[in-house]
Amino acid sequence: MNQNIKNKLKEDTLTQKILSKKHQKQIEDMDKLKCISDTGEEGYEAIFELVNSSNNLKKLFDESLQQNPSVMDKWSRYNSLLTEDRKDKICQVIDSRTNYIRVAIQDIFHKHNVSACLRSCEAFGILNVDIINTKLVGGGFKPSSASKGVERWLKLSNYKSIEDYCHYVKDLGYKIVAAYPPHYNTVNIDELSVDSPMVIAFGNEHDGLSSEWDPYIDTAYTIPMYGMVESLNISVSCGITLQTIVSRARKFVDTSRYFLSNEEKQKLMDLWLQKHFAWIK
């Protein structure tokens, strides 16, 4: 093949890649604009033209803030950027969030498992998830695709010491519960008391909870199983546990104790709104 033809084909391929990336970016920007605008398709196109002519998303965001600069809390200042459906959804979810139950996850090896646990926590209204890494250098946690971004709607905290963590939550008034096989003098999960705030602890996929937890566990519970297997995957166990305990707590615990206070809800709204619009730079 003639070298000039080869060069032309190479240039055409590169041009197509650039145009493809630009088109994908336009689609992403359009999706973001639809998330903050109540306008029809013509409105989307008009705003999109502004973006393409260098009046970027941040300008739209800043203009909305200038409409009512005297209002201090972020929710009152920023919520006009949200569709009514989005605002209703955020308010509905915040009304169901709880500090009464929090989840602790210790030394989970597969980040996919941690991410699946996070999805269960978010789905059942848990706000605080504590990740304890006693083995991984540097600690911390990066969610996998299994989390589907739910970490934005949770408060994740990292710890390196089981003992320090247990003292911390005990001082806050939490009892600590954990799942064990039936022969460990356990109670059935359906009979687990929900009369006080609790931390539900989950251990490593291979070894379970470290023995360091033993002095701090207030109640050991078991999930009844009727097959040959004697244990469940960590993410499955987390989902079953939260569905059972959250349902019982919502039924038997006074709402003023179980759900967030108005002040806590306001702070959470502000935090979520900041995260929601973090992509506007």
CATH number, domain with residue 117: 3.40.1280.10
Nearest to 103 by CA among 172, 191, 203: 203
Does residue 266 sit within a domain? Answer: no
Does residue 73 sit within a domain? Answer: no
Shared domain check, 241 and 117: yes
Tokens standing for 196? 């006080």
pLDDT confidence bin for 14, thresholds 50/70/90 = low
Shared domain check, 193 and 132: yes
Does residue 183 sit within a domain? Answer: yes
Tally the domains of the chain: 2
Shared domain check, 112 and 49: no
Shared domain check, 124 and 255: yes
Does residue 153 sit within a domain? Answer: yes
Does residue 31 sit within a domain? Answer: yes
Shared domain check, 103 and 40: no
pLDDT of 240 above 90: yes
Shared domain check, 174 and 115: yes
Shared domain check, 129 and 41: no
Does residue 89 sit within a domain? Answer: no
Shared domain check, 17 and 147: no
255-270 CB burial, b ≥16 within 10 A, e <16: eeebbbeeeebbebbb
CA gap 5, 38 in Å, rounded: 49
Q: Range of 37's domain?
A: 3-55
What pLDDT, in 10s, does the model give residues 85-123? 878 888 899 999 999 999 999 988 777 888 889 999 999
More confident residue, 79 or 251: 251
What pLDDT, in 10s, does the model give residues 21-41? 665 665 555 555 554 444 444
Shared domain check, 174 and 41: no
Nearest to 131 by CA among 79, 27, 64, 204: 204
